[in-house]
Structure 1
């Protein structure tokens, strides 16, 4: 069917279904695993790559300053001016003219520089750097339908990383003030004896001796 691949992707965010067959530390390794399955004529349309433990990473690429902002604005404006000049040249009845072409580039560069400098000055120096953001996962798992999971593991054993099932969930930490050893005993509550004190039987009541009979 022509729309089988499009129908497989849900319209709303949904967790994928399947059995985990391999885990890799990088996306390139996970991609290599899928390529390996494709080379072995495995139906890769039933395989899903899932990123685990997602994190947003913002890499700082440089420092911003007025000269750098002005240069970037001039370059972007020059590209826009070149585009406008090409349109004028294509639809101008008088043909190509060097002066309007150069003038359009210079005007675009000037407006781009002015707009960039004004925009940067309005930030007040709160963000004097450039950066690029990415969503990165700590590891990447390959999921496959349960019917073909054993076959996928057998093929992926040649490159390693094979596992079974979903990752083991982390063990929750012990509550504050409680020992983490499950064999440890907790102190008794208000109804029990104090912790650490020996238990003694209650004292028996004493009676005075009976008087002798005459």
Structure 2
């Protein structure tokens, strides 16, 4: 056994070949390189200056808390009931569709109860719904040193995506 057989090899050195203000612009640049037959497996998109971002989508009421969880529970219950019917794990006289319906009803009720309990446990400290994400100030394209000059040249060519 060689000493390196149990350890991953070190990542190749990389350097920044371009910076973009949005992820979509960086993604477009990588797509452009791919279209030009550049070996994109040597490219990484790195977000710089990451920030947590939370978009508030609305007020969370008791009805919404119960409704969101009821909908999720109904889907899960219907799927579980359908699978039971599909494999005849319950009396074959009961159809899969009927089991899916019963599963949806039970799942919706349990989901609604859990939604109400969860909302009650917040104690009014979080009466809103939101979506969390991360944002970056800019996005750099890092390319392995062995391919960086070629990528830089390709991204500077006419027709390459803009960096602004």
Where on the TM-score scale, by shorter chain, does this alignment land: which range?
0.7 to 0.9
Corresponding residue for 1:135? 134
Residue in 1 that maps onto 2:73: 77
After TM superposition, the structure 1 = structure 2 runs for residues 49-64 of structure 1, keeping only pairs within 5 Å, are: 49-64=45-60
1:119-172 per-residue CA deviation (whole Å, 9 max, x = no partner) reads 21121111111111111111111122334333222211132439xxxxxxxxxx
TM-score (norm 1): 0.61
Gaps of 5+ in 2: 1-7
* Ranges in structure 1 where 5+ consecutive residues have no aligned partner: 1-6, 11-15, 163-214
Query: Structure 2 length as normaliser, TM-score?
Result: 0.78
Q: Is the 8 A contact 1:56 1:134 kept in 2?
A: yes
Alpha-carbon distance in 2 for matches of 1:30, 1:108: 43
Across the two proteins, how many residue pairs are aligned to each other? 151
Which of 147, 161, 167 is matched with 2:163 structurally? 161
Using the TM superposition, give the Cα deviation of residue 88 of structure 1 relative to its aligned residue in structure 2, in angstroms. 3.6
Q: Does 1:120 align with 2:116?
A: no
* Structure 2: distance between partners of 1:30 and 1:9: 25
Corresponding residue to 2:17 among 21, 34, 40 = 21
Between structure 1 and structure 2, the one with the greater Rg is: 1
Q: Calculate the aligned-residue CA RMSD, in Å.
A: 2.6
Give the number of the structure with larger relative contact order, counting CA–CA contacts within 8 Å between residues 6 or more apart.
2
Question: Of Structure 1 and Structure 2, which has the larger fraction of its residues in strand?
Answer: 2
